[in-house]
Homo-oligomer: A and B are copies of this chain.
Amino acid sequence: METNQPKIKAAILGATGMVGQRFVQLLSNHPWFEISALTGSDRSAGRKYSDACYWRQEGDMPAAVRDMQVLPAVPPVNAGVVFSALPADIARDVEPEFARAGYIVCSNSSAYRYEDDMPVMIPEINAEHLALLDSQKKKRGWDGLIVTSPNCTTSGAVFPLKVLNEIFGLEKVFLVSMQAVSGAGYPGMPYLAIADNVVPLIEGEEKKLELEPRLLLGKMNGRERISAPMSISAQANRVAISDGHTICLSVKLSKSASLEEVKAALLSYAWPEEIKQLPSAPLQPMIYREEADRPQPRLDRNAGGGMAVSIGRLRPCPILDFRLVAVVHNTLRGAASGSVLNAELLKARGFLG
């Protein structure tokens, strides 16, 4: 991208919440995008962003957005790309309005994530699923489009699963997550409910985790996505930690492989060069930690600016084939940064501007 090109204007839907604030933070110094519009709920619309929003990120609210007026979440907005941090029930109505009105929507919500014509996108994993957008256009008749990001835990688990599926074939995946409190947005769980505790239920999460990796690892058959045929069992737990999801995995492979072969595959996988060129992409999307007690969310969640997934503890499984542990930053790779990277891919592929 030439440096003297003007930046693409970006609107953020749901800009006052936790993920919305992350979008503001990420786009404030973005080389390709600049914030042009912020929307909020009825309670926020019409107020200055600095009045409507209690800033909960480290560092101050960027000066450029302090005085922007929060708009209602309806088109038109002055934007070449729209980032949605809306909750699923609101996104259900609002995102299609923007797509219909011709906007490119990069959504972080689950509202449309499971539709056949909807890419659930992580650029390093399944950029070829952009072909679904043709089906989307045909089926919906929109001038714009929607690209979605997966659930935060999926965003971590799918990196090692991608490698294992591609090199050895994946038949079964056993997954137990220990998820950070920020995964539920703000306010999320009361201190009294989660401090000194583990809550072994995250409403609706297990269904998502048993479905989404199969979508992301699916193969395109023309403009149709064929879900990967593996079976997944997921158990999701909330633990007392601010950011960073930890995922215990056990997998059964299609081909027999030694631990050394599996480790070599995880270490040497060639992630697509095209994606590494995108501004938000980490040099190494997946990092194998050799220490016996890693990855750990506190030490590893910010690897690659919060965009690298850290894995480790590869070892045999007495029931399936191999076990390992993954850590992902749930509000960066698993949420806002993931959507920004999707927008960057769309730009690079000519969908934007």
Interface residues in chain A, defined as those with a beta carbon under 8 Å from any beta carbon in chain B: 18, 56, 58-60, 172, 174, 176, 178, 181-182, 186-201, 210, 231-233, 235, 237, 239-242, 244, 246, 248, 250, 292-299, 302-303, 312-313, 317-320, 323, 325
The majority secondary structure among interface residues of chain A is mixed
CB pair A191 B198 closer than 8 Å = no
- Docked CA distance A317–B319 (Å): 15
> Whole-angstrom distance from the CB of A182 to the nearest CB of chain B?
6
Which B residues are in CB contact (< 8 Å) with A174? 174, 250, 319
Given contacts A237-B178, A240-B241, contact A188 B197 (CB under 8 A): no
Which B residues are in CB contact (< 8 Å) with A176? 176, 235, 248
CB pair B239 A239 closer than 8 Å = yes
Which B residues are in CB contact (< 8 Å) with A181? 191-192, 195
CB pair A186 B190 closer than 8 Å = yes
CB pair B248 A200 closer than 8 Å = yes
CB pair B233 A323 closer than 8 Å = yes
Residue of B nearest to A312 (CB): B200
- Which of B60, B172, B190, B196 is the one whose CB lies under 8 Å from A188? B190
CB pair A248 B235 closer than 8 Å = yes
- Docked CA distance A242–B195 (Å): 8
CB pair A192 B56 closer than 8 Å = yes
CB pair B58 A198 closer than 8 Å = no
Which B residues are in CB contact (< 8 Å) with A210? 318
CB pair B299 A58 closer than 8 Å = yes
Apart from A56-B299, A201-B313, 12 more pairs, CB < 8 Å: A18-B192, A58-B299, A59-B302, A176-B176, A187-B187, A191-B194, A191-B240, A191-B242, A195-B240, A198-B239, A235-B250, A235-B325
Given contacts A58-B299, A200-B313, contact A319 B233 (CB under 8 A): yes
- Docked CA distance A293–B197 (Å): 12
- Docked CA distance A105–B302 (Å): 33
Given contacts A172-B319, A174-B174, contact A188 B192 (CB under 8 A): yes
- Docked CA distance A312–B198 (Å): 14
